[in-house]
Structure 1
Amino acid sequence: MPSSQPLPPKEKTLFNRILKCYEQKQYKNGLKFAKQILSNPKFADHGETLAMKGLTLNCTGKKEEAYELVKKGLKNDLKSHVCWHVYGLLQRSDKKYDEAIKCYRNALRWDKENLHILRDLSMLQVHMRDLEGYRETRYTLLQLKPGQRASWIGYAIANHLLKDYMVAFKVLEEFGKTQQSQDNQYEHSELLLYQTDILVEAGLHQRALEHLEGNKDRIVDKLTWLETKGDLFIKLQNLDEAEEIFTDLVYRNPENHRYLKKLEEIVNPSTLEERLQLYQSVTTVFPKADSPKFIPVTFSTGSTFQNLIDKFMRSQLKRGVPPLFTSLKPLYSDPEKVRFITATVESYISSLESCEKFSEADEETEPPTTILWTKYFYALHLDALKEYEKALSVLNQSLEHTPTLIELHVAKAKVLKHLGDIAGAVACMDEAQSLDTADRFINCKCACYMIRNDMISEAEETASKFTRENISVEEYLKEMQCMWYEVECANAHTRAKRFGEALQKCHEVDRHFSEIVEDQFDFHQYCMRKMTLRSYVKMLKLEDSLRSHRFYFEAARIAIKVYINLHDEPYKPGDRKTIEGESSMSSAELKKLRNKQRRQERKKAAQEEKRKQEEKANRKKQQQQRKNDDEGDTKKEEEFQPEKLVSVSDPLDQAQKFLVPLELHCYNRFDTHMFAFQIAERRSRLLVMLRALLRAQKAASNGDLAELHFCKVRFAKKVCDTNGVSSAVNDVIGKHFGNIYGDVGLEEFNQRFLDENNDSLAHIYAGSKAMYHLDNAKKDEALLKLLNFSTETKNVTIQICEDILTSLRSKLVYGQVPEDFLKDFTEKCRDFFPRACSFKPPGSTVTAKVNGIDHCSAGDPTNTGDIAMAEISMESSKADEHKMNADQNYDTSETIENHCSNGM
């Protein structure tokens, strides 16, 4: 459509050059041509030229000037599709997608058949999941360009995403008829498999099978063809054909658990003997395969289990397979099986030490390495059973025998961590990584342990062994989206009450997820062009639930806790917060601590100066490169400043931003609703509190009931203390009040809870907090309950004890607690956990020797424990306890994938 401000041929040629320069990122040349047009008085206000100049300036980082020019150009030529399109591109660059879509629609009012605008609009619509609008736009493109492959495929995908499966299939069928020859057989094969997936999702299994059979010769991916066909035969109850296919697949890969499980599903053995016979037949054909030997161990019982596990463990220990414990983890939910494994491995060790055989009746003598791996497995087994001291003794004996085995040092570090001796764990991990400096996994684990011991600078130095040269570790890991590192750093900063730095890391993790979402733009057209349609649809579904990932949950959890703490205790710039416990230090100890702090500050300043110099050199290098490439894209990524992050005036609003994705994607997690409850409580929104409480009650597990009880008490107290509640709100609360609390008063409700759970420290802690919350005069009684735990008390863990100690010192949960009581509680915790750094006497030090240098941390929970916010200390206790249990059952292969694939 001709512009309302047409240009003569000379200026039109210049304008076309501007467009070409923009596409080729030659921004300086584009601005030069724009200047030539606008310098002519006749075209000084030419709208489209002004808009293109603004768009070019936006690419050079001059955003404000760009917006001014584009708006001016649009004002001068409101009927120009170019001006509206440019304004949409500008909005899209600022991630204002809804506004960009409006601009594209306005552009289409003046040029309904502009392919560029329609494509850009369709990309934004699928990105924002406006699927109805996406289908409408793709249909328009199909009408305009029926000869283009992307037009057909885009319309088919739109119908597939809207679950109009038959329309999507028929569109692809018609598209296939237009293709005279398949130049690329791989792309055509992917298209045919995608059609099959559509039919399977539609529930048309017979038709999907016929489609597969009819296109057998044209489908290149024979493995997927076989797997899909086998699944379809099972759904159609054609079990003979299915058995033949999955038998073939087992011959291809006998270690694949899915194939073996499918084969079992097809055969459907009626007795345990028939089930065992199935796996025995596979083992006979493939004697070296481990999977058909292990799967029967998971479902067998009694003497059958004992025979199978004995054979399996012997074969693994003979070969020295380190992940044997990882393989057997699924069995640890059965106490009977655990008892037999204990007896078996103990008998192995006894026999190997006496006669170098698994049992005296054996004829074969085992090599010395067999007893080493047997003790290694036994130590991990004891660690899983929480017999930490015994596990440590076994590991020390093994290290005396073979001090160069890396796995022993890693296992010892793990056991020491569970004993609370994080400094000792760091020393063990550093020893392990020094034995093999080329092992990236060990390097990652060592850095992780260092961060948990608040040795962030040492962790950076360790991690730098695997980072790119001429760039700081921090920048490199940020660039590589290494989120495990950032989450661990956020936890470390939170423990040290460096809330600004903790929030910085949390926001960086959040930005990584936003960048992953933005990366979809690279695939909306690429996947249709390359025909990777099955992967494209999977990616879209993954992106829809992306923020359910554990890294995002951990970062959001930390951020919400910090923002709630900032609401309760607003940040005051310039205030120097003293370290807890300093008041009880002697002058010599205080002087030693100050000297240590000064050394750390000097070291940190030197590292910061070095980092600035490196960044300066990198900036110069990048500027020179941009100059050589004649590019001016100097748009800088927004940096998160710690001081700015902790100085926000609306911390609860900031916490709410992190909470919204959790409510959408982590709805089944108890902590999500506890966060919602705490934010609503501080905003005095009773109905939101009630909703969160009811949702938390549904999502709560046995380990969450203690914290749930405390929240119930807080809600009832809030209702009683709130004046001026409307009758409608009272009616809603009244409907649920009786179901939650019964017909007893609050104090009796809490006392009953304490009486019923007097053998659990977590419940005693929750009831004690509730007692003080209801009546501050009962402070002494509430505190005394915390001391009445013994070896028979359940849930006495390092984490819970640390959280109780933190709440006692915070003055927010129990007010001012006497120093004598703090000392008594700490000593009692020390009796239970003598190795734990958190309960060392004030002024004592815990030493971790790293790289030949002693790194000391004060014997104080503020330095070595996992600090939790006082209001939600129990919640942090549960989360970190779950994390410890996960560490105990850590899958080595998963760890390598999570740690290494994310940047190191």
Structure 2
Amino acid sequence: MSQTSSQQLPPKEQSIFKRIVKCYEQKQYKNGLKFAKQILSNPKFSEHGETLAMKGLILSYMGKKDEAWELVKRGLKNNLKSCICWHVFGLLQRAERKYDEAMKAYKCALRFESDNMQILRDLSLLQVQMRILDGYRDTRYQLLLLRPQQKASWIGYAMSFHLLGDYDGTLAILKEYCKTQKPSSQYDYEHSELLLYMVSVMLEAGQQQAALDFLNEHDANIMDRTYTKEVRARLCSELGRLSESETVMRELISVNPENRAYYAQLEELLKPSGPVERMAIYADLRKTHPRAAMPRRLPLDFLTGDEFVKELDNYLRQSFHKGVPQLFRLVEGLYDQPGKADVALRLVEGYRSSLADCGRFGESDPASSAEPPSTLVWVWYYLAQHYSKLGRPAEALRVIDLAIEHTPTLTELYSLKGQIYKDAGDIVSACEYLKEAQSLDTADRYVNSVCARYLIQAGRMEEAEQFLGRFTREGTIAGEHLADMQCMWYLTECAASYKRLGQYGQALKKCHEVERHFNEMVEDQFDFHSYCLRKMTLRAYVSMLRLEDKLKAHPYYFTAARLAIDTYLMLHRRPLDALADDSVGKNDGLSAGEAKKLRSKQRKAQKRAEQERQKAEQEQAARLAARKAHNKEHDADSDANAFKEEALDPEKLARTDKPLDQAVTFLRPLLNLCPDSVEAQCLGFDVYRARQRPLLMLRCLLKAKSIDASHPWLHACLVRFLAMTADQQGAMAAMEPPVRALIVQHLPSLFGSASVAPKAFNDAFLAKSAGDFVNTCWGLRLKYELEGPSSQSACLAALTAALSAGSAAGIERQLEACSNAYIELRSGDLFGTIDADNLNRLRTQLHDLFPYAREFFSPTDAAAAAAAVVKIQSQVLNGETSNNGDE
């Protein structure tokens, strides 16, 4: 930092001030404070602005934020024309993530010292962070003029043109820079990356011929040979040089014969006219790469008839012989094609019979060699997955028990058995078998994680944390450690489980933690803006910037945002106190008094758990404090300057006064970054409906219909919107005339007519939904909303009929939809309060369809299931073999 201000210091104090700046740059904060005290203790310079600012900056890095802000503001007030004071003020604003204010401060500093390299550099970092690209280009140009000999000045200026989409300008600058550069050695990585970056810019600009010529010219200086070949193959293909592209693609396949994309590109080049020619391509590749699995797997996607049977037979036999655990996952895509699942089942059943009888794949094939005993185990393993996928858990359990009896020490068998129970609706038994699998291999992190996931889904949070604690840092709380490590699956699973348990504050806390993690990822890119320019990782840098621009389109964020929005909408309709009051007396089989006692016990247990957690947190804080006491001073100082957000309080989150504002916070990224998602638009409709924003509701409906007009959730939104527009005396009358006119104008595009009755529109949807249980549930829900309690019996009858019809139409694979419908029926959210007889009748019908699903167990079934779980637990403790398929 240089000193330019109206408060000039004498030479002696000036030299001391320079030592303050040097101590700050070298992180010698205590020495810096001593030197600042020497200046400020002099009555003549006690209000010297720049010294006050530097002292405040040093204190901020020592964790004394309040005192730092006071000093910096005081220094700035005393010297408004100081470049240093404004720069320090901007640094503190940047540390607080107030980037707009920081940029204003930097610009004020540049008014007094326009050629300050450090301030210009800091300003450029903020501009690219905020994607103010025009300003970023201008700032990088100033830096280039000041330091034309620096590599980062040229690259940063060229990068600014690239981000703005000016490819010709980018290439012109880079070519000018390359004229002054030569590779420092034969293996100059940075020069190689610069050349490949120029190629990527040419590709984006559509300059295929120029890119290919550039690759050929600089081929000897490029180190990333695989990427070079991929680009060359693509360019030759686009330029019509198919034979050359084919040669390169075959070279790539030789390097990585398991890359599915390479085979697809080779097929595009050769353009086979039918299955016979396509098969000839793969037959040739098999000769070249006899050990590769992909040339044997891919033909199964397009072959049919006897050829398909022959190829699948060979593929399965080789895989079973090798013992490939993921075989079913590799061929699972074939099950979407009619008839291929039956062929696979017939072949595998034949293998099982032959292997059990004679130890070979075929009894009539004496030439085939005898198979090892493990082959039969993997055949059973495959069959169990096959039956589970088709919704036949009893057969799946019977087969997997045979495998466990044969080889009781194989971890995968217990994991699969747990998965079968979970898919069948018995998460409790699934947890026990995953615990057994984990006990067989305690070093398997994956099995441990799956076991913890199942425990979380079963609502057994403390037990899940115990399992997760086996692979987290010693001395830390497992849940907090995973949250700090941004373990998204853990946070989203916990949020969903807490929501099911009615602990809405905890659920919202996990959702907000996910949001904070994504915000941290956006903030973390700040450190890479200068690093990537120095290290010349330019292609990765551009990819990172584009990823950050759409980061919140990630499925993890979508899941957390949807959970949070649903929870906030529910809290808007019924605040937490109302939910607590309504839940008393609604527990199945409990009187109001018993329900109150149960809730009292639950509150006490929750309080005890919270006290234990607080105690553990205090112990952990003490350990961390002791550890930090032994760290080096500058490490502790840098940690103290880190940005810290306010701790999340579950109780405060659940009792927010503005739940809809919080919901909108989660909603905006979904609408902006997931514009092609029907679910995002429907979520938007629900939020804007609660906020009474008809035009925003209309926008969401129009967008959703353009994406998927047949989506059942969209139908629900349309019916509710139609009911609102039909209320001429209420909602429509309260709208402004221009709003009302715009809605009326778009009604035909949504409903085909401006005068459709909501009931008729929904009845037509129900008529089309015959045989589709999910659509039927949505239609019946809306029928009850439109017609009221008088339609309850008709809705129940229609739901029962849909279940009866679904039993012959594959409803066994729709456990989740049936479970959700039953939960909403039981809670009164679907058709209002249902009498016990009708509810029990429906439960019995569902239990017949899903005999393993605990959601549909009667009290007798639940007691028997509890006894079975106790038996499993005792077997795990005693190390016995499980064989409980008919429990």
1:396 equivalent among 376, 401, 405: 401
Task: Tell me the equivalent position of 2:255.
Answer: 252
Task: Tell me the equivalent position of 1:799.
Answer: 816
Task: Tell me the equivalent position of 1:828.
Answer: 845
Aligned residues between the structures = 853
User: Is 1:563 aligned to residue 585 of structure 2?
Assistant: no
Alpha-carbon distance in 2 for matches of 1:747, 1:180: 76
2:511 equivalent among 499, 506, 510: 506
Q: Using the TM superposition, give the Cα deviation of residue 388 of structure 1 relative to its aligned residue in structure 2, in angstroms.
A: 2.3
Could you tell which deviates more after superposition, 131-140 or 600-609? 600-609
Could you tell which deviates more after superposition, 661-670 or 812-821? 812-821
Change (3 A) 1:313 1:522: same
1:464 equivalent among 445, 469, 492: 469
User: Is 1:98 aligned to residue 97 of structure 2?
Assistant: no
Alpha-carbon distance in 2 for matches of 1:371, 1:593: 52
Change (3 A) 1:10 1:713: same
Task: Tell me the equivalent position of 1:711.
Answer: 717
2:690 equivalent among 682, 688, 691: 682
Question: Is the 1:585–1:842 contact (alpha carbons within 8 Å) kept by the matching residues of 2?
Answer: no
Change (3 A) 1:632 1:520: closer
One-letter amino acid of the structure 1 residue matched with residue 7 of structure 2:
Q
Q: Using the TM superposition, give the Cα deviation of residue 269 of structure 1 relative to its aligned residue in structure 2, in angstroms.
A: 2.8
Question: Is the 1:487–1:506 contact (alpha carbons within 8 Å) kept by the matching residues of 2?
Answer: yes
Alpha-carbon distance in 2 for matches of 1:244, 1:709: 52
Could you tell which deviates more after superposition, 46-55 or 132-141? 46-55
Alpha-carbon distance in 2 for matches of 1:379, 1:187: 53
User: Is 1:818 aligned to residue 835 of structure 2?
Assistant: yes
Change (3 A) 1:799 1:203: same
Spell out the pairing of 1:21-40 with structure 2 (5 A cutoff).
21-40=23-42
Question: Is the 2:585–2:595 contact (alpha carbons within 8 Å) kept by the matching residues of 1?
Answer: no
2:82 equivalent among 72, 75, 80: 80
Q: Using the TM superposition, give the Cα deviation of residue 529 of structure 1 relative to its aligned residue in structure 2, in angstroms.
A: 0.8
Which secondary structure does the structure 1 equivalent of 2:378 belong to? Answer: helix
Question: Is the 1:26–1:630 contact (alpha carbons within 8 Å) kept by the matching residues of 2?
Answer: no
Task: Tell me the equivalent position of 1:871.
Answer: none
Report 1 or 2 for greater relative contact order, CA contacts < 8 Å, sequence distance ≥ 6: 1
User: Is 1:109 aligned to residue 111 of structure 2?
Assistant: yes
User: Is 1:634 aligned to residue 637 of structure 2?
Assistant: no
Which secondary structure does the structure 2 equivalent of 1:792 belong to? Answer: helix
Task: Tell me the equivalent position of 2:316.
Answer: 313
Q: Using the TM superposition, give the Cα deviation of residue 608 of structure 1 relative to its aligned residue in structure 2, in angstroms.
A: 4.5
One-letter amino acid of the structure 2 residue matched with residue 710 of structure 1:
A
Q: Using the TM superposition, give the Cα deviation of residue 231 of structure 1 relative to its aligned residue in structure 2, in angstroms.
A: 1.9
Task: Tell me the equivalent position of 2:699.
Answer: 691
Residues 727-775 of structure 1 show CA distances to partners (whole Å, capped at 9, x for unaligned) of: 2112111122234344442222222322332433323322222222223
Spell out the pairing of 1:751-790 with structure 2 (5 A cutoff).
751-780=763-792, 781-790=794-803
Alpha-carbon distance in 1 for matches of 2:552, 2:598: 45
One-letter amino acid of the structure 1 residue matched with residue 121 of structure 2:
R
Question: Is the 2:63–2:637 contact (alpha carbons within 8 Å) kept by the matching residues of 1?
Answer: no
Change (3 A) 1:405 1:123: same
Question: Is the 2:432–2:872 contact (alpha carbons within 8 Å) kept by the matching residues of 1?
Answer: no
Task: Tell me the equivalent position of 1:200.
Answer: 203
Alpha-carbon distance in 2 for matches of 1:497, 1:68: 45
One-letter amino acid of the structure 1 residue matched with residue 533 of structure 2:
M
Change (3 A) 1:853 1:568: farther
Alpha-carbon distance in 2 for matches of 1:153, 1:716: 56
Change (3 A) 1:432 1:589: farther
Q: Using the TM superposition, give the Cα deviation of residue 509 of structure 1 relative to its aligned residue in structure 2, in angstroms.
A: 1.0
Task: Tell me the equivalent position of 1:618.
Answer: 624
Q: Using the TM superposition, give the Cα deviation of residue 455 of structure 1 relative to its aligned residue in structure 2, in angstroms.
A: 0.8
Spell out the pairing of 1:499-898 with structure 2 (5 A cutoff).
499-572=504-577, 582=587, 584-585=589-590, 602=608, 605-606=611-612, 608-625=614-631, 631=637, 633-634=639-640, 636-700=644-708, 702=710, 704-705=711-712, 707-719=713-725, 720=727, 721-722=730-731, 723-741=733-751, 742=753, 743-780=755-792, 781-793=794-806, 797-841=814-858, 844=862, 847=866, 848=869, 852=873
Q: Using the TM superposition, give the Cα deviation of residue 808 of structure 1 relative to its aligned residue in structure 2, in angstroms.
A: 3.0
Which secondary structure does the structure 1 equivalent of 2:805 belong to? Answer: coil
Change (3 A) 1:775 1:180: closer
Which secondary structure does the structure 2 equivalent of 1:585 belong to? Answer: coil
Question: Is the 1:191–1:531 contact (alpha carbons within 8 Å) kept by the matching residues of 2?
Answer: yes
Question: Is the 2:86–2:109 contact (alpha carbons within 8 Å) kept by the matching residues of 1?
Answer: yes
User: Is 1:405 aligned to residue 407 of structure 2?
Assistant: no
Identity %: 42
Q: Using the TM superposition, give the Cα deviation of residue 604 of structure 1 relative to its aligned residue in structure 2, in angstroms.
A: 6.2
1:67 equivalent among 66, 69, 74: 69
Task: Tell me the equivalent position of 2:387.
Answer: 382
2:159 equivalent among 136, 157, 174: 157
Could you tell which deviates more after superposition, 449-458 or 219-228? 219-228
Task: Tell me the equivalent position of 1:4.
Answer: 6
Alpha-carbon distance in 1 for matches of 2:225, 2:539: 16
Could you tell which deviates more after superposition, 31-40 or 461-470? 31-40
Which secondary structure does the structure 1 equivalent of 2:391 belong to? Answer: coil
Change (3 A) 1:581 1:376: farther
Which secondary structure does the structure 1 equivalent of 2:804 belong to? Answer: coil
Q: Using the TM superposition, give the Cα deviation of residue 660 of structure 1 relative to its aligned residue in structure 2, in angstroms.
A: 0.7
Which secondary structure does the structure 2 equivalent of 1:220 belong to? Answer: coil
Task: Tell me the equivalent position of 1:186.
Answer: 189
Which secondary structure does the structure 1 equivalent of 2:257 belong to? Answer: coil
Residues 603-635 of structure 1 show CA distances to partners (whole Å, capped at 9, x for unaligned) of: 664454234323322223224436696737435
Alpha-carbon distance in 1 for matches of 2:251, 2:775: 55
Unpaired segments of 5 or more residues in structure 1?
Answer: 856-904
Q: Using the TM superposition, give the Cα deviation of residue 122 of structure 1 relative to its aligned residue in structure 2, in angstroms.
A: 0.8
Task: Tell me the equivalent position of 1:348.
Answer: 351
Task: Tell me the equivalent position of 1:880.
Answer: none
Alpha-carbon distance in 2 for matches of 1:649, 1:542: 35
Residues 533-566 of structure 1 show CA distances to partners (whole Å, capped at 9, x for unaligned) of: 1111111111111111111111111111111111
Task: Tell me the equivalent position of 2:885.
Answer: none
Could you tell which deviates more after superposition, 80-89 or 816-825? 816-825
Change (3 A) 1:75 1:238: same
Question: Is the 2:584–2:596 contact (alpha carbons within 8 Å) kept by the matching residues of 1?
Answer: no
Change (3 A) 1:172 1:740: closer
Could you tell which deviates more after superposition, 101-110 or 622-631? 622-631
Which secondary structure does the structure 1 equivalent of 2:656 belong to? Answer: coil
Q: Using the TM superposition, give the Cα deviation of residue 788 of structure 1 relative to its aligned residue in structure 2, in angstroms.
A: 3.2
